Amino acid sequence: MDFQPKQEHVFVKIKLINDKVQNKDTEIQLLKERFKFETLEKMKLMKNWRKKIKYKELEKTIGKLKVESYELLEENIIYERGDLEEEVSVFV
C-alpha cells in the first residue's frame, strides 16, 4: 500500500541554462510533471528551503531542460529563460 501524503503547494524558482526553448508550454508541462515527483524529496531533506541550492543531477531529473539552479519561493513559481518569466503552479 503506497502512502499518499497530503497535497501541498510548493513554490519554486527555476533558472534554465539553455534558453533555446522551442515550445514553452510543452516544457513548462514537462517541468511540472517531472520536477514534483523526483526533486521534491531532495528539497524536503534540506533544512533551509529558501537557501539557493544547485544539483548537477537536476539536469537529468527534469529531462531535456538544462537546469542551473532552483530556489524555493513564498508566492509562486517563476520559470526563467533569457528575458522571459512565466508564472506556473505546481502542486505536489
pLDDT per residue over 68-86, tens digit each?
445 444 444 444 433 333 4
**For the chain, how many structural domains are there in total?**
1
Task: Look at residue 7 and tell me if it is in a domain.
Answer: no
Task: Look at residue 24 and tell me if it is in a domain.
Answer: yes
pTM: 0.25
Task: Look at residue 53 and tell me if it is in a domain.
Answer: yes
The torsion angles phi and psi of 91, rounded to 5 degrees, stand at -105, 135
Task: Look at residue 3 and tell me if it is in a domain.
Answer: no
Give the mean pLDDT of 19-47: 54
Task: Look at residue 84 and tell me if it is in a domain.
Answer: yes
Cell triple for residue 91? 502542486
Question: What is the structure's pLDDT at 78?
Answer: 43
Task: Look at residue 1 and tell me if it is in a domain.
Answer: no
Task: Look at residue 5 and tell me if it is in a domain.
Answer: no
User: What is the percentage of the chain residues whose pLDDT exceeds 70?
Assistant: 0
Task: Look at residue 30 and tell me if it is in a domain.
Answer: yes
Amino acid at 1: M
Domain interval for residue 72:
12-88
CB 70 within 8 A of CB 63: no
Question: What is the structure's pLDDT at 33?
Answer: 58
User: What is the percentage of the chain residues whose pLDDT exceeds 90?
Assistant: 0
